[in-house]
Structure formats: structure tokens, C-alpha cells
Structure 1
Amino acid sequence: MSIVDACRAHRGPLLADAQRLICHESPSDDRAAIEASADLVTEVVAARFSAAGIEADAERIVIDGCPHIRWRLGSGPRRVLLLAHHDTVWPLGTLQTHPFSLEGGVMRGPGCFDMVVGLAQAVHAIAALADTHGAAAVDGVTLLVTGDEEIGSLTSRELIQTEATGCDAVLVLEAAGPAGALKTARKGVSLYSVDAIGKAAHAGLEPEKGVNAAIEIALQIPRIAALADPAHGTTVTPTRLAADTTVNTVPARARVDVDVRATTAAEQRRVDKAIRSLPPELAGSRIQVGGGINRPVMERASAASLYARAVALAPAAGVECLTEIAVGGASDGNFTAGVGVPTLDGLGAVGGGAHAVDEHVLVEHIVPRTALVALLIQDLLKADAA
């Protein structure tokens, strides 16, 4: 039986595993839900690996209360890291309004596209490779499933970087780009909170004694937005806005959150320096800046050799017309590329609607994409052994 045939045989179990995971909601900021999700992921992976004759214990790594799960397959040096996450953006109760469904070749449900199906594909690609060539065929592979990707990977970043260091390749099972494009470049991400500190006063009796933080932050927003540089692909977007405290009080504090995306490290540094240097406009007010550079830029050079391998293997996997794309969104692949390890992203589900109510996966692409991952693993391990 070929690897592709094995992946076809895994179609039913893969869909069943995806359904189980989708129907267990796992919002990043709900600790109990994430812990239960980690339990379920561990159970699902254990069953699939056991059926394929793979002996590998799940290592549960809890960092600041957030559970991540790692499987190191075989006893050889670490060569290929498969990277996924089990948290989603959807709050508990979403299944009541957007339930799981599988109709007309389209799978729907919270987190299906980002990135439950990609996680399931990683597991079944490894299992299919072991089915056809024995457990030794995946010696040197590590599967790491983190629990906080959707909120910036604050607890998992160091773990991801450490696990990637020394590997020959990282394959990221995040959702594909349009028409199944692989993601060979991602912008770097910086996240900031900009606080204006003023002075409270009664809005009716003596507003002149206050320093209005809401006005200060309103004056800062255009200055922040002006740091964008479209010619260099840099976006600087003020997002969430808040001020305290009551309707009849001059606000003593106001905040705007800022999302920055850049295509080069130099642009990240430029914006970082500028935001940290914002001067106050109102007498008596102060500016405080929190946050900073969250994910480094993932440059195409990091993915070029792996993308070439994927293109060469795509016909055998049944993937037609494989393309690439650079995207503004970031992933944990930014971290692995940032430590100098070749990284190929977007190997997961084909579909659309990430973080949106129309989130969906096109089922016809699941088997070919799973086969492509399995063939990539095999190709990389063979190259390492040569």
C-alpha cells in the first residue's frame, strides 16, 4: 500500500477525529476548556498512533497554567517538527449557533479551518507513513500542539523555539491560503497598549481641574496610525479603545490597543521606537506603552527550499497546481523561522472564513493535503539519512 492509499484509508477516521475535536470547544482564554481540550487531543492522538504501531508517550507541558502537548517519535535526533495548536478564538456556546456539520463536501464548525483539520491531518499523515513503512519511518519526527497560539503564544514561544532548534525543517499545519496556497512568508506582528494618564475631576463642578485622558488618547490615535508605511507593507492599526470611569467624571486613564504588521525586521524596529517615543499633547498628561514585538517576520527565504520540495511532491499526493502566498497574518511559524529553521506554513485545511461565522473546510482537499504532509516528512527524513 502506498502512502497516498494509506491516507485515503484514513479519510473516515480523520473526519471522525476532526468532528470530536470541533465539538469540544477550546477558547484560548478559558483555562478549564483548554485543559479539557488537551485531554481530548492526547486521547485522539494516542489512539491513532497506537493503531499505527507508534510507541510514543504524550508529554504534557504546562507553562503558566497553559497545557501544551508534545510527542517525540523514535529515539533518533530530532529532524522534522510538525507544529499545530488546539486552542480556538470561539467562546463557549458557539456550537449552539454554529454547530458542526458535514454536508455537500463542506465541513463547518468553530475552529474547523483554524485549525482543527490541520491538526488532524498532521496526526494522520504521521500514522499513514507508519502504516506503510513501519514506525521507524517516523523516527526523528516531533509533533507539538500548543494551547495559546490564538492569543499570541505567550507561554509557548520559548517551547516552540527550543523544539525547532536543531531540526532540519518545521511544517506548520495552519490553514492554507486561497485555493490551497502554501504560506511562504508572513508579516511580523507587534502588539501594543498605549495608555494616556490624566487626572480625574468632576465633569460638572470643576472639569478644568482635570486632565482628560480620553482627549489625550484621541489626539494620539492619528499620530499612531500615521506610522503606517503602505509602500513597505507596514500597517499600524489602532483597534480596541477604552476610557474610565463614569459618565460625570473627567477620565483619568484611557487606552488604545495597536496592531502592527511589517514585512521586515527594520520596519518592526522603526515602529517600535516611534510608539515608545510618543510625547503627550496635554499639559499634565503622561503616555505609557506596554507590549512590543510579538512575532518576528517570516521571510520567504526560510520557506523556499521546502516549498520547492512540496511542489515536486504535490502531483504524487494528488494536489494540483500548488501555489504560494505571502500573508499579513502571523503564526507560530514566525518563531521557528525567526530562529533560522526552514519553515513551511499553510499545509493544513483548504477552505475559508477563519475567525468568521462562515468558517469552513472543503473536504475534497483533506486527503491530498494529508498525503502531501506525509510525503514531505518521508522526503525530509530520507534526505537527512543520505
Structure 2
Amino acid sequence: MRQPQIDLHRLLTDVRELVETESPSIDLDAVARSAEVVARLGAAHVGAPPERLVVDGVTHLRWRFGSGPHVLLLGHHDTVWPHGTLDRIPYAVTDGVLRGPGCFDMLAGLVMAFHAVAALPSPEGISLLVTGDEELGSPSSRALIEAEAREASAVLVLEASVGDGALKTARKGTSMYEVEVVGRAAHAGLEPGKGINATVELAHQVPAVAALASPSAGTTVTPTSASAGTTLNTVPAVARFTVDVRAWSAAEQERVDAGMHALEPVLEGAKLVVHGGINRPPLEESMSAALFERAVSVATRLGLPVPDQAAVGGASDGNFAAGVGTPTLDGLGAVGGGAHAENEHVLVDRLVDRTLLLHGLLEDLVAGRSAEGSRNRP
């Protein structure tokens, strides 16, 4: 396996251009502008423009090279950072550390993907999908991701790594709920007994929901935001609270989902309406194990730092890919830290070796070395 030259200066130049193009997920115009920059950079590296796929106003990009099952590179160009963040946290490289909003999650990973594909003898057998709403839970791109993953032999996700470069071989699945409590309003001073207090009912339901957690299975069920009532002197007619659920297995997600929809009111006359449900399925280790072994083998062969593996509680679009049964390996992006935080950063001296690892893994997968089939195994 040959080892190409990766131009660090050009990597940094490309990352800077993406970081300095603000792309908060909630601003569709900004996401569209960001997509144009990503499209131009990608085309310059891979030699072809992408398809522009606009779904519900959100701009996604797709490249496909050749026919048959592809190795799918999966990433996103939206960020969590609002307009004006660049004024406080401008792009900078100091003492080997690159900073700037979105650099770690996951703009550096996109740039690495373009450089890795450009270094291949041919992009034949590769597809790239770059979405624009991952930070919102991928409401408009989920169907695209799942459709591309179903046609792929393997999915490599350019989300950032863990710690010193560990690859993400398991991710918890996520479920999101809102519990709406419906009571009946009444004057709190004149006739409180004629009311049905939604706040009191909410107080009964929160511990019932929290009890659905299973520490032994690693399943967390966390009541988060809550609201109730309208005025100080009115028995509240409506209350609501949201619930974040994380689980390592689909079976645990389904158990909690059944429990959420089986909730019963405690106060006579109160009603409960449960909104939401399972959002992202888990990326279970069985879906990444063979790809991880392959990545370790490639790193060893090329004399690159051999990555460790990690299981993480956060979800990504890789969960959707694994959920349709396609082998998926996550965390192949930058080494650094501070995702979604003021100290977001990328270690410059790891950009080249990580790009080489991605390139080597792509070359190995496309060549079909030691291939054992295209479904459920890389």
C-alpha cells in the first residue's frame, strides 16, 4: 500500500475557509452558503461537483463515483455556533493547536475526507454525503443517510475522535420525548378544589419517568426542561417536561419507549399525552468491529499511530447508517477536543497521520482486500 504526501499547509487553509464560513444549523441561508463553500472545496479535490440536495430548505451535498456498492464517507457541514462566534473565537493556530468554531465538530474531518479521496489513484467506488442539519438531529437528512447507507458496503464517519485518537466503535441510541400534562384551571384562592393541578401531576410523573433508567444496562432516562402554569393565582391547566433517553441497545430503547407510553396519571381527571419517541438507533459494537480491526491493520502496516476504540454516549449520523445494517466506523475525523464548547480545538500535528489513516482504509476497502461480503461485514 503506497503512502501519499498530504499537504498540511493546504489542509489548514481549507479548514480555515470552512471555519470562517459560519453555518449555524438553524439559519438555512447560512447553511446554504456553507454548502457552496464545501462544494467548491470538495470539487477542487475530487475533480467533480456534487449533487445539491435541498430537503425542507436544508442544503445537503452528495458525490458518487462509479457504480455498485460504495464506501460511504459521511459528514456534516452545519455547526452549533451562532452568528458572531467568530468575533469572539476567531480561527487561529497557536503552539500547534487550531481553534475556531466548528473546527473539531466536524469541519476538519470534512477537509480530511477530501484530501484522503484526492490522494487515491481514482475515486471510483467512493461516495460522500455531507449533510446540513446533523446538529438538529438530522430531520431532513435522515432518509438520505439511510438510503445511501443501504447501498454502501461500509460507512466511515468523519466525526471527531475520542481522546488521543480513539475511534468510536459504539454509540448510544437516543430517544426524545415531551410529556404533556393536561389538567383544569381554577382560581387558586376562591375555588382551587375545582381545578386539576397539572404541576402536581407533573411532580408525580417526573420520578416515574426517571425510574425507567437502568444503570446496569447503561440506559439513562433524564427529565430535562419543564414548564407549568400561567399565573401565580391560577391552578395550572397545562404542564410539560422533556426527556432525554440514551441506550446501548435497541431492546433497551424499545423497553423505555413502551414505559413512556404506558404512563398513567395519578390525579383524578388529569390526562397525559406523550410526544416523541426513538430518534437514533444505537451504533452497536458488532456493526463496527470488523472495520475497526481493519483500521488497526492499516495503521500498523503504514507505521501510523494505532488507534484505540471507545464507546460514547453521544449519537451521530453513523447511528442511522448502522441502524439499516451497514458496517459503520465512527470517529475518523480530527484529534482534539472541546466539541460544542468554548475551548473547541484540533491538534495540528495529528491532521496528516489521521488523513493518511483514512486514505489507507479507503484504499483497502475499495480494493476489497480480504473482503468477506458487502452486508453486515466490511
1:25 alignment partner, one of 22, 29, 44:
22
Partner of 1:213: 198
> Judging changes above 3 Å, is the alpha-carbon distance between structure 1 residues 359 and 318 closer, same or farther for their aligned structure 2 residues?
farther
1:46 alignment partner, one of 43, 46, 58:
43
Please list, as runs of the form range in 1=range in 2, the aligned pairs for 1:184-263 lying within 5 A after superposition.
Answer: 184-263=169-248
> Judging changes above 3 Å, is the alpha-carbon distance between structure 1 residues 384 and 253 closer, same or farther for their aligned structure 2 residues?
farther
Q: Which segment is superposed worse, 168-177 or 97-106?
A: 97-106
CA contact (8 A) 1:317 1:368 kept: no
Q: Does 1:115 align with 2:106?
A: yes
Q: CA deviation at 1:384?
A: 6.8
> Judging changes above 3 Å, is the alpha-carbon distance between structure 1 residues 278 and 57 closer, same or farther for their aligned structure 2 residues?
same
- Residues 127-185 of structure 1: CA deviation (Å, up to 9, x unaligned): 122xxx2xxx2101001001111111111111111111131111000010121100111
Partner of 1:61: 53
Please list, as runs of the form range in 1=range in 2, the aligned pairs for 1:143-182 lying within 5 A after superposition.
Answer: 143-182=128-167
Q: CA deviation at 1:110?
A: 1.4
Q: Which residues of structure 1 form unaligned runs of 5+?
A: none
Residue 89 of structure 1 aligns to which amino acid in structure 2?
V
- The two structures, once aligned, show a CA RMSD in angstroms of 1.8
SS in 1 for 2:256: helix
- Residues 271-323 of structure 1: CA deviation (Å, up to 9, x unaligned): 00000111112222111111111111111111111111100111355532311
SS in 2 for 1:175: coil
Q: Does 1:339 align with 2:324?
A: yes
Residue 118 of structure 1 aligns to which amino acid in structure 2?
G
Q: CA deviation at 1:215?
A: 2.1
Aligned residues: 371
Q: Does 1:6 align with 2:25?
A: no
CA contact (8 A) 1:318 1:368 kept: no
User: C-alpha separation between the residues in 1 aligned to 2:111 and 2:10?
Assistant: 9
Please list, as runs of the form range in 1=range in 2, the aligned pairs for 1:75-94 lying within 5 A after superposition.
Answer: 75-94=66-85
2:115 alignment partner, one of 109, 120, 124:
124
TM-score, reference length from structure 1: 0.92
Residue 71 of structure 1 aligns to which amino acid in structure 2?
W
CA contact (8 A) 1:188 1:265 kept: yes
Structure (1 or 2) with the greater helix fraction:
1
Percent identity, please.
56
Q: Does 1:353 align with 2:338?
A: yes
SS in 1 for 2:201: helix
User: C-alpha separation between the residues in 1 aligned to 2:60 and 2:229?
Assistant: 37
TM-score, reference length from structure 2: 0.93
> Judging changes above 3 Å, is the alpha-carbon distance between structure 1 residues 369 and 144 closer, same or farther for their aligned structure 2 residues?
same
> Judging changes above 3 Å, is the alpha-carbon distance between structure 1 residues 38 and 3 closer, same or farther for their aligned structure 2 residues?
farther
User: C-alpha separation between the residues in 2 aligned to 1:204 and 1:92?
Assistant: 47
Residue 52 of structure 2 aligns to which amino acid in structure 1?
R
Residue 228 of structure 2 aligns to which amino acid in structure 1?
A
Q: CA deviation at 1:68?
A: 0.9
